[in-house]
């Protein structure tokens, strides 16, 4: 280091400075000099987003409200409806004990209980409307009978037909006349219920081809298709056939004859299809009637109102002349070459609570004697026949007691559906058969339910009582009882009376009964359902209240 020269005069001054400054320099030298803070990079400061400052929350301090315990509302106890001031106990007069009517009460005239749908014909029968063996495969314009045997067959073609079939059935029922309906297969397929109505009323059914063509391309198909629908609807074929227009040369008649059907034409034709006038139709039938004759008329194919209008006069006029009306199968059975036979009881489709015997009548003919009468009995529940000792699947004929007046004792019959047939035999062995006749043994009362009114229910008003009923054989009627407790009166359908009364409901399976205007008070209601042998079911009394201030009641 290079030496510096200090003048003597400055040395004391310099010494003082050094001594005074040394501690400060020492401290200063010992403390490190802080590094300068680097200047931040000149990144521009982002402009604050213009987010509005939150509004200042002003907390309002106030005395808390008391807990919001609401004052309890008064319990919604509705003001009680005025109780139907307990009227005197007023126990309704009980219905009389259901004393059954005499056994074998028939169905109402002309309204027999319909047989079950497609009821099968008994096994072993040729058809549902059998014809004598001598008539099978034969052609008939009429049947040869003695002049004193004034029987005649009314026949109706081209149905079933809406309106006119029903109207003709009604007229026949009114006069108790049985007839024969030659039905077109396609019509029967469309209106099977109309067909069954004719069958169930005891009329005979004949085949009138499938489509009623005068010149069919397929004669066999025309006959067979009609047979098939007849089998389907009635449970069996028919032994009688009529060709459309009476045409015997277009093939269908030959088919029917080959199938051993009796081909039925006619010997009396009023041409009612041409609507010549009611009086003309009457005159033509009455003037053309003969014993054993067959009358052609129509219930289908067009306007048959003149036929309907003429029918009552035709029936009453011929009856006054001594004629008796029969079906075509019955007419064929009257052929003078065979004995005749008929069943008196059971009635066709009648219901019985019990039936002890089948009975009827028979007679020889001018060409045949009467040797014996046989009876057949068929049970539908298991398709068996009674052979005199037991039920068997083998077709069995039992010898009846008597001939001209005959009867056959039946076994004890359980509830169900049965059919019976009779046969009259000559000494040569030839026989004449009746058609199978169906009947019912009904031991069970109908089921019954009341939908409205409901027991122990209050209604603001009630105009109609409703319910249901059912029976295996059929419900004959539903009747109801309405009792007013305030004065112990009964409604008889017209007015209130102190005498026990019932009045009819409308309908059967689904029935209803119109009630009179009912004032506030308590009532009792009962319904009863009765079948055709008067087995009866009672619903029991149901008490209900009418209060005009009451809410509506759902009745489903």
> Which segments within 86-187 are labelled E, that is strand?
139-140, 151-159, 180-183
pLDDT of residue 54: 44
Query: Comparing 136-333 with 447-546, is the CATH topology the same?
Result: no
pLDDT: is 380 or 107 the higher one? 380
CATH number of the structural domain 340-441: 2.60.40.1220
Per-residue CA distances from 272 to 175, 241, 266, 308 (Å) = 21, 20, 14, 10
Looking at residue 188, what DSSP letter applies? H
pLDDT of residue 147: 80
pLDDT of residue 508: 93
End-to-end Cα, the chain, rounded Å: 129
Please report which confidence band the pLDDT of residue 23 belongs to, taking 50, 70 and 90 as the band edges.
low
How does the average pLDDT of the chain come out, rounded?
A: 81
298 noted as active-site residue? yes
Fold topology of 447-546:
Immunoglobulin-like (2.60.40)
**Pairing label, strands 405-409, 357-363:** antiparallel
Mean pLDDT of 189-193: 96
**Pairing label, strands 151-159, 180-183:** parallel
Is-contact 352 177, C-beta < 8 A? no
pLDDT of residue 258: 81
Name the burial class of residue 206, with classes exposed (0-12), middle (13-18) and buried (19+) by CB atoms within 10 angstroms of its CB: buried
pLDDT in tens, 120-141: 333 333 356 778 777 888 788 8
Mean pLDDT of 388-410: 92
Q: At what angle do helices 278-288 and 305-320 cross, to 10 degrees?
A: 40
Is-contact 462 453, C-beta < 8 A? yes
Per-residue CA distances from 363 to 152, 339, 342, 404, 428 (Å) = 18, 6, 9, 5, 15
pLDDT at 25 exceeding the cut of 70: no
Give the burial string for 345-359 (b: 16+ CB within 10 Å, else e): bbbbbbbbbebeebb
- The rounded distance, in Å, linking the Cα atoms of 503 and 508 is 14
Token readout for 152 is 């005649």
Please report which confidence band the pLDDT of residue 7 belongs to, taking 50, 70 and 90 as the band edges.
low
Dump the DSSP string for 411-446.
PP--SEEEEEEEEEE-TTS-EEEPPPEEEEE--SPP
Out of 157, 227, 299, 471, the active site residue is 157
Out of 158, 208, 298, 531, the active site residue is 298
- H or E stretch including 253? helix 252-258
The pTM (predicted TM-score) of the whole model is 0.44
Question: What are the domain boundaries of the chain?
Answer: 136-333, 340-441, 447-546
Residues 6+ apart with CB under 8 A from 352: 103, 104, 346, 439, 440, 441, 442, 533
pLDDT in tens, 136-160: 887 888 887 778 889 999 999 999 9
Cα 23 → chain centroid: 131
* Half-sphere exposure in the Cβ direction for 483 (13 Å, CA): 22
Fold topology of 136-333:
TIM Barrel (3.20.20)
pLDDT at 83 exceeding the cut of 50: no
Please report which confidence band the pLDDT of residue 70 belongs to, taking 50, 70 and 90 as the band edges.
very low
Q: At what angle do helices 192-200 and 164-175 cross, to 10 degrees?
A: 10
Residues 6+ apart with CB under 8 A from 121: 127, 128, 234, 235, 236, 436
157 noted as active-site residue? yes
Per-residue CA distances from 166 to 181, 216, 296, 301 (Å) = 12, 29, 18, 14
Mean pLDDT of 530-548: 93
pLDDT in tens, 450-494: 999 999 999 999 999 999 999 988 899 999 999 999 999 999 999
């Amino acid at each position: 280091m290079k030496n510096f020269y200090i003048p003597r005069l400055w040395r004391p001054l310099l010494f003082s400075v050094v001594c005074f400054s040394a501690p400060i320099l020492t401290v200063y030298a010992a403390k490190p000099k802080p590094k300068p803070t680097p200047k931040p990079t000149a990144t521009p400061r982002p402009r604050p987003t213009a987010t509005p400052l939150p509004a200042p929350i002003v907390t309002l301090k106030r005395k808390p409200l008391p807990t919001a315990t609401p004052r309890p509302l008064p319990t919604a106890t509705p003001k009680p409806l005025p109780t139907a001031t307990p009227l005197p106990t007023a126990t309704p007069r009980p219905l009389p004990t259901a004393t059954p009517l005499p056994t074998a009460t028939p169905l109402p005239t002309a309204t027999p209980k319909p047989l079950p749908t497609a009821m099968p014909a008994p096994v072993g029968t040729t058809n549902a409307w059998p014809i004598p063996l001598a008539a099978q495969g034969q052609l008939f314009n009429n049947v040869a009978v003695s002049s004193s045997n004034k029987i005649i067959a009314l026949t109706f073609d081209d149905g079933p037909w809406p309106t006119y079939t029903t109207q003709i059935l009604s007229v026949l029922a009114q006069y108790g006349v049985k007839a024969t309906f030659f039905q077109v297969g396609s019509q029967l397929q469309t209106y099977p219920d109309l067909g069954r109505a004719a069958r169930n009323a005891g009329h005979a059914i004949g085949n009138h081809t499938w489509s009623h063509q005068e010149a069919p391309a397929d004669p066999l198909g025309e006959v067979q298709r009609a047979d098939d629908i007849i089998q389907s609807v009635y449970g069996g074929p028919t032994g009688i056939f009529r060709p459309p227009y009476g045409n015997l040369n277009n093939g269908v008649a030959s088919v029917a004859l080959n199938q051993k059907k009796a081909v039925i034409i006619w010997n009396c034709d009023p041409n009612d299809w041409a609507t010549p006038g009611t009086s003309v139709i009457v005159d033509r039938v009455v003037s053309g009637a003969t014993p054993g004759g067959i009358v052609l008329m129509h219930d289908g194919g067009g306007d048959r109102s003149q036929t309907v209008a003429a029918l009552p006069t035709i029936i009453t006029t011929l009856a006054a002349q001594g004629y008796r009306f029969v079906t075509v199968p019955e007419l064929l059975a009257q052929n003078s070459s065979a004995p005749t036979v008929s069943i008196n009881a059971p009635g066709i489709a009648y219901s019985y609570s019990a039936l002890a015997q089948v009975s009827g009548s028979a007679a020889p003919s001018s060409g045949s004697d009467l040797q014996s009468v046989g009876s057949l009995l068929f049970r539908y529940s298991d398709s068996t026949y009674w052979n005199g000792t037991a039920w068997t699947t083998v077709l069995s004929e039992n010898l009846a007691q008597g001939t001209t007046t005959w009867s056959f004792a039946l076994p004890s019959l359980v509830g169900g559906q049965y059919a019976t047939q009779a046969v009259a035999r000559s000494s040569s062995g030839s026989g004449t058969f009746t058609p199978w006749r169906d009947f019912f043994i009904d031991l069970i009362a109908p089921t019954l339910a009341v939908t409205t009114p409901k027991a122990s229910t209050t209604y603001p008003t009630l105009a109609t009582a409703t319910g249901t009923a059912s029976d295996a054989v059929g419900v004959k009627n539903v009747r109801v009882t309405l009792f007013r407790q305030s004065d112990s009166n009964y409604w008889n359908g017209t007015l209130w009376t102190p005498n026990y009364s019932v009045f009819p409901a409308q309908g059967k399976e689904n029935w209803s009964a119109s009630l009179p205007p009912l004032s506030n008070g308590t009532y009792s209601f009962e319904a009863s359902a009765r079948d055709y042998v008067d087995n009866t079911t009672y619903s029991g009394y149901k008490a209900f209240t009418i209060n005009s201030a009451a809410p509506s009641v759902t009745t489903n």
